[in-house]
Amino acid sequence: MYLRQTRTENGEVRGFPGTNARITVYKGIPFAADTGYENRWRAPQPAKDWEGVRDCYEFGPIPMQRIPGRDPEAFYAKEWHVDPEVPMGEDCLRANIWTPAHTKDDKLPVMIWIFGGGLMEGYPHEMEFDGERIASRGVILVSIGYRLNVFGQLCHPELTATQPDAPSNFCFLDQAYGIAWVKRNIANFGGDPENITIFGQSAGAASVLTHMCASQSEGLFQKCIIESFNPVNPTIPRGGGFPAHTFQDVEQMGVKFFDLLGVKTLEEARKLDAQFIMDTYNSSGLWINNIIDPVYAKADVGELMLANKFHDVQFIIGNTVDEFKTGPSIDPMAQYRNAADGDLPPEIPNYDDEEEVMKWIDQHYGEYAEEFKAIVKADPRPAKIAAETCRVAVGNDILVASLAKMGRKFYFYNFGPTIPGDDAGSFHSSDLWFEFETLARSWRPWDGHHYDLARKMCNYWTNFAKTGDPNGNDADGTPMPHWDPVTPEKPYPIQFFDTIQMATGPRTPEEKFLFDVYFKEKNG
């Protein structure tokens, strides 16, 4: 017997056997009320109770965003945003649960997935996020929806005045509400509310860091996994990263946006059709994102981490080796950033000409330009690839070294196997197929060693969720390569490459250069 029917705080729910009949899947459970109209730009509200048993056989609507898969030439359209017909709407605060539990008393560890997409797009039931392989290891997987883009981050003076307890960052409030809902309800799905791991990638990882630093979230989870987000920018290139708008700046963006909508008040804006709001935002050229608000996300998470001001939780942090090295063509957020005047970081132009790359280094590396150019010229790789060292990787190296000195116990990884099918390398998000062990859903011609790596990575992730230690045996009972925690003497990652091994130092001279310059400038 498996736990095919159970209860939430709002009513009975019925799940169904997964592809693996040992797993029960519950799709689209409301964990909060519809966020449309009167609930738009408010803190999440309690879900309505229902009578009888709710059949949880279909995913809920995806959050309002650009239509996934509309442009088949876009990089991520061929990866997983393949369905332009996927239902979309404001009733998106839904939880999806994959549980292997037999009874409510099983007390299984729980992982809560927060999807990425720049807080602009994405949804919790993308094909790569299927939870069956995680659940097959005795861990409950929950994925949660949350509001995005202007629906999730609008600021406006009227919001600040009328709801000071929730003036913005509804995306983070939704996530926190969902995590708290899981803690209250997961025991009925066979889960242990005192053994919860939250994990996310890209903007999902930024969200995890936000909750790690928010006082309101303390005690909601015990462990975290932070994938492919860098909260610390290296000192150079000069001007790297995005501008830190003040809350008042973003409030004025909200005033401008209301003008574009043709409304003057929140009451008027809340009566508008959601698709009209979305279309207006998409054509507005506004970039409402990365907001520091006075209530939940009160400060830059990188600064808080470096100051050791975050919850006492165990965590894993890491990144892919290539991330955005291949340029904005595979960056799904480029379409938004390109519309925002002055908000682009100094990415290297898509130059194949080494001389042009050297000019770019002269412009952005100041007194370190000659030293860096010499390092780049000595690299056997093309100048653009050598110079465009992944700032996510270097930033994580900086953060990891700093946290190790504080005595925090945690684990660090790099992901960089050969990725078949094109020349994108271990691109930003390529690791998702592996952590969820969902390679069979991909179009790419994976071979046996990729499936072996995916199986082991999923093992490491679920072992960590169970005990706080990722190490353990593979499916055949043999020990997997040992993953050492970070220490001040050895702040190095495990390398999930075509083989798995612990690193013994920085990967490239370029990255070591950026790392050393950061601490040189920081220490005067």
Residue 329 pLDDT = 43
Residue 30 has pLDDT above 90, yes or no: yes
Q: Is 246 helix (H, G, I), strand (E, B) or coil?
A: coil
* CATH placement of domain 5-341+390-510: 3.40.50.1820
Which 3 state secondary structure label does DSSP give 175?
Answer: helix
Which amino acid is present at 465? A
Which of 407, 415, 405, 397 has its CA nearest to residue 517?
Answer: 397
List pLDDT tens digits, range 314-326. 999 999 988 865 4
For 41-50, 262-271, 320-329, which range has the lowest pLDDT when averaged over its residues? Answer: 320-329
* Predicted pLDDT of residue 491: 92
Read off the tokens for 343: 């908000």
8 backbone dihedrals φ, ψ, rounded to 5°: -110, 175
CA 90, chain centre distance (Å): 21
Greatest CA separation for the chain: 72
**What is the side-by-side order of every strand in the sheet holding 11-14?**
5-8, 11-14, 53-55
CB 515 within 8 A of CB 397: yes
Burial of 92 (0-12, 13-18, 19+ CB in 10 A): buried
Q: Are 15 and 88 in contact (CB under 8 A)?
A: no
pLDDT digits (tens, 9 = 90+) for 497-517: 999 999 987 778 998 999 999
Highest mean pLDDT among 266-275, 415-424, 515-524: 266-275
Q: What is the mean pLDDT of residues 340-359?
A: 71
What pLDDT score does 381 carry? 83
Looking at the chain, the domain(s) classified CATH 3.40.50.1820 span 5-341+390-510
* pLDDT higher than 70, residue 466: yes
Kindly report the pTM of this predicted structure.
Answer: 0.94
**C-beta separation of 295 from 215 below 8 A:** no
Q: Residue 390 pLDDT > 90, yes or no?
A: no
- Whether the pLDDT of residue 336 is over 60: the answer is no
Could you tell me the two tokens for 170?
Answer: 């509804």
Least confident of 115-129, 340-354, 392-406, 500-514: 340-354
Integer Cα distance of 324 and 430 in angstroms? 11
Question: pLDDT averaged over the chain?
Answer: 92
Q: Would you state the pLDDT for residue 74? A: 84
pLDDT band for position 399 (cuts 50, 70, 90): very high
Peptide bond into 237 cis (omega under 30): yes
| Strand order across the beta sheet in which 223-227 lies | 16-17, 24-30, 94-99, 140-144, 108-114, 191-201, 223-227, 314-320, 410-415, 494-496, 500-502
Residues 299-307, mean pLDDT to the nearest whole number? 94
pLDDT, one tens digit per residue, over 77-125 is 889 999 999 999 999 999 999 999 999 999 999 999 999 999 999 999 9
Mean pLDDT confidence for 384-390:
77
Length of the chain: 524
**Which region among 5-9, 353-357, 464-468 has the lowest average model confidence (pLDDT)?**
353-357
